[in-house]
Amino acid sequence: MNVFAGVRSAAGAEQKDAGSAGGEALLELTPHRMAVCHLVQVFAPQQEGGPATPPFPFESVAHHNRLGLFLFSLTRSCEDFLEPPLEELLRQLKAVDDLVNGWLCEQLTTTLSGLISPDDLFNFFDKLRGVLTSPEGASVEDEFLDPNSQLGVYLRCCILAFNSMTFEGVCHLLSNLVAYCNSAETSYDLAEDEDFNSEMEMSDLMDADIGVRAGVFDKYGQGYATESHMGESSSSFIHAPISLHDFDEDNIFKADENPTCLRSRWQLEAYLNQQADILEKDPSSVPLNSFNATMTQLQTLAPELHRVQFLQHLNALSHDDYVSALDNLHRYFDYSAGQGLFSRSLSANQDIIVGKYESALLSLGSLHCYFGHPKKALEAFTEAVRVSQMNNDDSCLAYILGAISNLLSKIGISSTVGIIGSPYSLGNNSGLGTPLSIQQQLLVLLKRSLKRADMLKLTSLISFDHISLAKFDLKHVQRPLVSFGPNASTKLRTCPADVCKSLRLSSHVLSDFGTGDLSTSHDNGSFSTSWLRNLSTASSSWCSSSAKPGKQIVNDFDNFHFNAQPSPIPTSVLQLAGSAYLMRATAWEHYGSAPMVRMNALVYTTCFADAASSSELSLAYVKLIQQLVVFKGYSVAFGALKIAEEKFPSSTNPHIHLLKMQLLHDRALHRGHLRVAQQICDEFGVLSSSVSGVDIELKTEASLRHARTLLAAKQFSQAAVVANSLFSTCYKYNMQVENASVLLLLAEIHKKSDNAVLGLPYALASQSFCKSFNLDLLEASATLTLAELWLALGSSHAKRALSLVYQSLPMILGHGGLELRARAHIVLAKCYLTDREYSVSEDPRAVLDPLNQATEDLQVLEYHDMAAEAYYLKAMAYNHLGKEGEREEAAARFKEHVTAVENPHDEEASLAY
């Protein structure tokens, strides 16, 4: 064994080149590959046949093509790291072969088992060479296997590998081949008698097994008479007493003993990429230990394939195993220091001695970021910036900047200086003299990352940066960085157009992919894999239907439509494009357009579900369900939640879990089940504790809900305290959008505690926040609260309140949910009722219509408190009109709702759905 393979491959530039040229290009010859070679030979058109008629065993051109497609897929597929055994190959071949009654299978097995001496192998490969060379006198138009086609190259590689083989290698190939042929036979035996009860059967089987073994050696022995003692020595233990109890154990060992042949390096890497995709898409579907076992097995088979360790790192990461994730990360980069993650940037003139240690740091930073260690993550990232600057690795730098901005937007950092350690790591603020706030740093980082990515044509990164920029623009007012000099007049507002523009630009990744050179590097063989997979399912279904008399004509391309075929666009690109849509939905959520939210979320779930990771997909579901609850009430939403939970169990998916708690809390508040609400609130508190990383958004949500619960319990002063502290937190972490809703809540608290005067400034502040962040729906809601506050100040302000309500009404009726609409209606009615110039008898519809609408909506929402209010107003109105029957009815409903609030029964039911 070459002891220093690893050392040398990393040692120096020229050595490395030599290593890669010798190691990677050359194919290792295995029995499976020989079988494929044989099939290629059958497939290759013979000379005598004219171009019009298909060669001998094939019935039609389509049939011929089908075999070609099959062979192509065989050489490209990557479903596993081991090559399939002969049995599997034969099974797949049958699907192609049925038309000629298994001629191909039979021919293959007889040919392969006919190879019994090294000389047979030489002849076999000699014949293969004939397939590639055109006979003398053949014209150019004649059909031959193109030596430069996929299959042609494959054949040439195999022939080359055979030619450069030592005699020992040939011997090994031969014995492997014998085992390969026999494995098919024995496994057929095993399949026939699955459970052996009597000892007789078992011993029969043992004998068969040993017979096969002996046969192997006999075959071996024919070639080498001198080595015949091997056969004898193995037969010596046949005479030894063999216990039957160990049989199961032995069977396991036998699996080990079978010659395991790895696929080619390319296929292995593609397999690993595929596994990584699965890990990202749905980590819960990958069991931690069995995946690790597979990877360990692969590693013992290919110790120099270090990517395996990276996969183990990813696996540990997705299962929240910090220690093993860290260990595997370091191990991977220790070994593979010379090669980097980003193969695109690894050009020929790369400084290999230095290696891609910066990507190690980048990964380390992401790991800490994932586990919620922002300080450590930042340290790692700054070090990565330094190292990549030192090594002139621009593309990695761009990625690092992207990662830092991701980190900064994720964690709340209050202090403005000293976060990003040394100034030269950023290099921006030294010239300006004033320290930048964290938000400004974030913006600068994003813009730099974008610029670099644009320069280096890193399409995915560009798209990612655009999304991040959109996220930033959504929540932050852009201020000029220079705080001196002639100030241009600045609008202190966010700019929705910018957000839309960024998102549109980010979706360009799809079109860039089509034109750019990304497409060439992304063929990962998954297409071929699923073709093969479908072939077998198709063949089984086909077999069952073939019982019908008469042969069916099978469309060759039917198989393409069997299951969801992988899209030819790589998953990562699809994911980014999908994220843009999800981001759009979020943006519209802020700006307050319900139909746009629904539309974008629906687009995401329908078009990008295949590529999406489970976390993002569940987020889209969450958005849809939230829309449902706002517009259709709880029963419908819980129905949808149940469906979503089947897909993503709420115990493993944080988004769904959170949504469930939100829904339950809202409903408990509406129904007046305060104890349940408090209970769920406590659960929120547990979730937002800093045990599993600090998620600032979750924290704000938890205390917001806490304040709302207190408000519902009429603990006004406490609610105000909680809301105030929440406001200061949001202010500290610069979360202006959240501030708007907190201020509105404060206004609400003061309104409910009959302190309308105190509430007014809060409502006004909230309104102005909403204006500057373009939160239209929230603004309408704030205006409504403002109207209520004015109304509470006395009947003299009814006119002003009415005009405010009318001002907000278009927005609310267009986009508002059930609750908001009902509230608006009630306020409207109240305005009229308190207005001295208005009398019910003159225009009863002005009051009764909105009230009817409100009661209807609130019925769906099960909001007792407000429903009671609406019915009360209704009863009053009917009283004025003198309609006693209607008055009594409304009063009865009023009483119903009031008792429901005051004597809540079956509170436990609030936890179920």
Partner 1 sequence: MDTPSSSGAGPGGRLLHLHRSGGSSFRRRMRPGGGGGSEAGTPLGGVSYVSTPIPDDDAFDAGADKYLLAKTYFDCREYRRAAHVLRGHVGRKAVFLRCYALYMAGEKRKDEETIELEGSLGKSNVVNQELVALERELSTYRRTGAIDSFGLYLYGIVLRDKGCEGLARTVLVESVNSYPWNWCAWLEIQSLCTTSDILNNLNLKNHWMKDFFIASAHLELKMHEEALKRYERLMGVFRCSDYIQAQIATVQYSMRELDDADMIFEELLRTDPFRVDSMDIYSNLLYAKESLTALSFLAHRVFLTDKYRPESCCIIANYYSLKGQHEKSVLYFQRALKLNRKYLSAWTLMGHEYVELKNTPAAIDAYRRAVDINPRDYRAWYGLGQIYEMMGMPFYALYYFRKSSHLQPNDARLWIAMAQCYESDPLQMIEEAIKCYERAANSNDTEGIALHQLAKLHSMLGQSEEAAFYYKKDVERMEVEERQGQNFVEALLFLAKHCKSIGRYEEAEHYCTRLLDYTGPEKETAKSMLQGIKREQSGFPSMDIDHFAL
Residues that bind partner 1 (CB under 8 A): 1-7, 10-12, 22-24, 26, 28, 166, 168-169, 172, 229-230, 232-234, 236-237, 239-243, 246, 250, 253-254, 256-257, 260, 262, 265, 268, 300-305, 326, 330-331, 334-335, 337-338, 353, 355, 357, 360-361, 364, 379-380, 382-383, 386-387, 390, 421-422
- The CB-of-380 to partner 1 minimum distance in angstroms stands at 6
CB-based burial label for 342 (10 Å; 0-12, 13-18, 19+): middle
Query: CB 112 → partner 1: shortest distance, Å?
Result: 21
Least distance to partner 1, CB of residue 160, Å: 14
Tell me how far, at minimum, the Cβ of 249 lies from partner 1, in Å.
Answer: 9
Instruction: Closer to partner 1 by CB, 247 or 731: give it.
Output: 247
Comparison of 303 and 810: residue with beta carbon closer to partner 1:
303
Structure tokens given for 378: 């930042």
At its nearest, how many Å lie between partner 1 and the CB of residue 269? 11
Judge residue 751's burial from the number of C-beta atoms within 10 Å of its C-beta, 0-12 exposed, 13-18 middle, 19 or more buried: buried
| Closest distance of CB 173 from partner 1, Å | 10
Min dist. Cβ of residue 178 to partner 1 (A): 14
- Of 378 and 868, the one with the shorter C-beta distance to partner 1 is 378
Write phi, then psi, for 262 (nearest 5 degrees): -80, 155
* Closest to 224 measured CA to CA, from 261, 295, 164, 175: 175
Instruction: Identify whether the C-beta of residue 611 lies closer than 8 Å to the C-beta of residue 571.
Output: yes
Written as six digits, the tokens of 550 are 């008469």
197 CB neighbour count, 10 Å cutoff: 8
CA atoms of 309 and 488, how far apart (whole Å): 54
Instruction: Report the residue number, 4 or 56, with the smaller CB distance to partner 1.
Output: 4
Of 240 and 497, the one with the shorter C-beta distance to partner 1 is: 240
490: left (phi over 0), alpha (psi -120 to 50) or beta: beta
Cβ at position 321, least distance to partner 1 in Å: 16
Nearest distance from C-beta of residue 326 to partner 1, angstroms: 7
Closest distance of CB 367 from partner 1, Å:
11
Q: Can you tell me the distance from the alpha carbon of 430 to that of 471, in angstroms, rounded to the nearest whole number?
A: 27
Based on CB atoms, which residue is closest to partner 1, 7 or 543? Answer: 7
Angle of helix 756-773 versus helix 776-792 axis, rounded to 10: 160
CB atoms near residue 602 (< 10 Å)? 16
204 or 280, CB closer to partner 1?
204
Q: Give least dist CB 388 to partner 1, A.
A: 11
**Cβ distance to partner 1 smaller for residue 421 or 639:** 421
| φ/ψ (deg, to 5) at 253 | -60, -35
Least separation in angstroms between CB 404 and partner 1: 14
**The amino acid at 171:** C
Select from 830, 831, 808 the least CA-distant residue to 820. 808
How many Å apart are CA 870 and CA 894, to the nearest integer?
Answer: 8
Closest by CA position to 586, among listed 564, 557, 616, 606? 616
CB of 364 to partner 1, least distance (A): 7
Distance, CA of 147 to chain centre: 40
Number of other residues whose CB lies within 10 A of the CB of residue 558: 11
Pick 169 or 654: Cβ nearer partner 1 = 169
CA dist 77 → 27, 72, 302, 307, 570 (Å): 16, 9, 19, 19, 16
Residues forming beta bridges with residue 82, ordered by sequence position: 262
Nearer to partner 1, 126 or 351 (CB): 351
Largest CA distance in the chain: 121
CB of 18 to partner 1, least distance (A): 13
- 869 to 437, 715, 873: CA distances (angstroms): 47, 20, 6
| Shortest spacing between CB 89 and partner 1, in angstroms | 21
Burial class (CB in 10 A: 0-12, 13-18, 19+), 307: buried
Least separation in angstroms between CB 861 and partner 1: 53
| Choice between 82 and 694, CB closer to partner 1 | 82
Distance, in Å, from the CA atom of 620 to the CA atom of 607, rounded to the nearest integer, reads 12
Q: How far apart are CA 713 and CA 630, in angstroms?
A: 23
Nearer to partner 1, 376 or 799 (CB): 376
**Measured from the CB of residue 334, what is the shortest distance to partner 1 in angstroms?**
4
Contact (Cβ atoms closer than 8 angstroms) between residue 464 and residue 573 = no
- Transcribe 688-704 into DSSP letters: TSGGG---HHHHHHHHH
Between residues 296 and 635, which has the closer beta carbon with respect to partner 1?
296
* Closer to partner 1 by Cβ: residue 230 or 455: 230
What is the C-alpha separation between 304 and 312, in angstroms, rounded?
15
- The DSSP line for 625-654 is HHHHHHHH-HHHHHHHHHHHHHHS-TTT-H
The whole-angstrom separation of Cα 769 and Cα 763 is 10
Cβ closest to partner 1, residue 100 vs residue 326 = 326
Q: Is residue 291 a contact partner of residue 271, using CB atoms and an 8 Å limit?
A: no
Cβ closer to partner 1: 425 or 834? Answer: 425
Rounded distance between C-alpha atoms, residue 300 and residue 308, angstroms: 10
CB environment 113-139: b (16+ within 10 A), e (fewer): bebbeeeebeebbeebeebbeeeeeee
Q: For the CB of residue 304, give the shortest distance to partner 1 in the complex, in Å.
A: 4
Q: Which is nearer to partner 1, 11 or 276 (CB)?
A: 11
CB-nearer residue toward partner 1: 226 or 520: 226
